[in-house]
């Protein structure tokens, strides 16, 4: 049996897991991210923590994923707007030197998609889209069981599909992007604004009288208590998400969409309106065959997906070699 280490680095923490080649987690841990520390120090701390995991000695290769613009072939993190110290960091080379193992690298959305492919679908799916509903809206595409990266490695930016022609400005410079409505912070701001003059909303009594205290978590708690304004806002979230998903279904025709990330936990409150919107907008056949799953494994999709990268990349190379020989 071969063992692999997966590392998933984010703005708030670094998650690690050791898996076997079928993506079974054998051990896992995490450390907090220090945004001010030098990248080399962070990588060395990460490995020192990983080396305490069970089966670390038997680890054959490792995968590393993080947010940002990544040259996955060279294994360089070019930049990430939420990781200011990380500019042109040769993560692959550094980790290989420190660990003595071969290291593979990809962005957070792609490793989450690979994690969902293995954990949620057990590898039994041809075309999968993984959408992270977090602070931002991430997208990872698995096409014919392989990560689809596009021509410059930039594919999968599903959160930056415009869902409104003359809509809200987005951080990326475009306007009306899905992320401008569905990203956690943006949705939270929309809710604060909407609730300003809703005097009797239960959700307002949960923010100590200050609407600026409203968080997505409180909005979720209020929906659990059946607050009608909170339920209305989650329905609105589902409608906007449905508009996005209808386009995704029409363009990519996946057999499965997996949602993960913090906001996906509230799916009971937005799934219905999302599906209604999909039914109104998407072509019937792709909408009918696509399974929609809300992952229960959001916390480990990234680290497990990273651990599955070495095998994924090697199989891709072997396939290419076989095709070249024909």
CA distances from 11 to 25, 36, 41, 122 (A): 23, 11, 16, 28
Verify binding: residue 160, Zn ion, rule CB under 5 A: yes
Of 96 and 174, nearer to Zn ion (C-beta) is 174
What is the rounded distance in angstroms from the CA atom of residue 71 to the CA atom of residue 325?
Answer: 28
Beta-bridged to residue 13, according to DSSP, are 32
Of 37 and 172, nearer to Zn ion (C-beta) is 172
Verify binding: residue 162, Zn ion, rule CB under 5 A: no
CB of 174 to Zn ion, least distance (A): 4
Among 128, 170, 191, 219, binds Zn ion (CB under 5 A): 170
Among 158, 177, 182, 287, binds Zn ion (CB under 5 A): 177
Of 10-18, 166-174, 196-204, 294-302, which segment contacts Zn ion by CB under 5 A? 166-174
Angle (CA) 156 158 159, round 5°? 130
Verify binding: residue 15, Zn ion, rule CB under 5 A: no
Verify binding: residue 267, Zn ion, rule CB under 5 A: no
Of 222 and 243, nearer to Zn ion (C-beta) is 243
What is the rounded distance in angstroms from the CA atom of residue 167 to the CA atom of residue 171?
Answer: 13
Verify binding: residue 168, Zn ion, rule CB under 5 A: no
Among 174, 189, 215, 247, binds Zn ion (CB under 5 A): 174
User: With contact defined as beta carbons under 8 Å apart, do 149 and 110 qualify?
Assistant: yes
User: With contact defined as beta carbons under 8 Å apart, do 207 and 213 qualify?
Assistant: yes
Of 60-68, 155-163, 184-192, 207-215, which segment contacts Zn ion by CB under 5 A? 155-163
Verify binding: residue 158, Zn ion, rule CB under 5 A: no
At 283, give phi and psi (nearest 5°): -65, 145
Sequence-ordered strand ranges (E) for 21-73: 25-32, 59-66, 69-71
Q: Where do contacts with Zn ion occur on this chain (CB under 5 A)? A: 160, 170, 172, 174, 177
């Amino acid at each position: 049996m071969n063992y692999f280490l997966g590392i998933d680095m984010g703005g708030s923490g670094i998650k690690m897991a050791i898996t076997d080649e079928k993506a079974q987690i054998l051990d896992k841990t995490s450390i907090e991210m220090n945004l001010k520390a030098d990248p080399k120090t962070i990588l060395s701390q990460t490995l020192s923590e990983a080396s305490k995991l069970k089966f670390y000695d038997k680890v054959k290769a490792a995968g590393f994923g993080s947010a940002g613009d990544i040259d996955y072939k060279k294994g360089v993190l070019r930049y990430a707007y939420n990781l200011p110290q990380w500019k042109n960091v040769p993560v692959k080379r550094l980790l290989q030197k420190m660990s003595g193992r071969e290291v593979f690298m990809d962005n957070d959305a792609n490793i989450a998609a690979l994690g969902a492919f293995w954990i949620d679908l057990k590898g039994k799916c041809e075309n999968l889209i993984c959408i992270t509903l977090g602070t931002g809206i991430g997208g990872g595409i698995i096409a014919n069981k392989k990560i689809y990266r596009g021509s410059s490695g930039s594919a999968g930016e599903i959160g930056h599909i415009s869902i409104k022609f003359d809509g809200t400005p987005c951080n990326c410079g475009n306007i009306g992007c899905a992320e401008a409505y569905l990203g956690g912070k943006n949705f939270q701001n929309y809710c604060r604004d909407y609730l300003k003059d809703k005097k009797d909303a239960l959700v307002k009594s949960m923010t100590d009288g200050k609407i600026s205290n409203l968080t997505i978590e409180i909005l979720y708690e209020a929906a659990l208590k059946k607050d009608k304004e909170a339920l209305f806002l989650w329905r609105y979230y589902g409608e906007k998400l449905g508009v996005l998903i209808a386009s995704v279904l029409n363009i990519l025709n996946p057999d499965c969409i997996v949602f993960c990330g913090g906001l996906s936990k509230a799916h009971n409150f937005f799934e219905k309106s999302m599906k209604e919107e999909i039914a109104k907008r998407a072509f019937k056949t792709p909408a009918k065959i696509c399974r929609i799953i809300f992952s229960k494994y959001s916390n480990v999709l990234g680290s497990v997906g990273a651990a599955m990268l070495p095998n994924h990349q090697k199989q891709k190379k072997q396939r290419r070699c076989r095709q070249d020989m024909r």
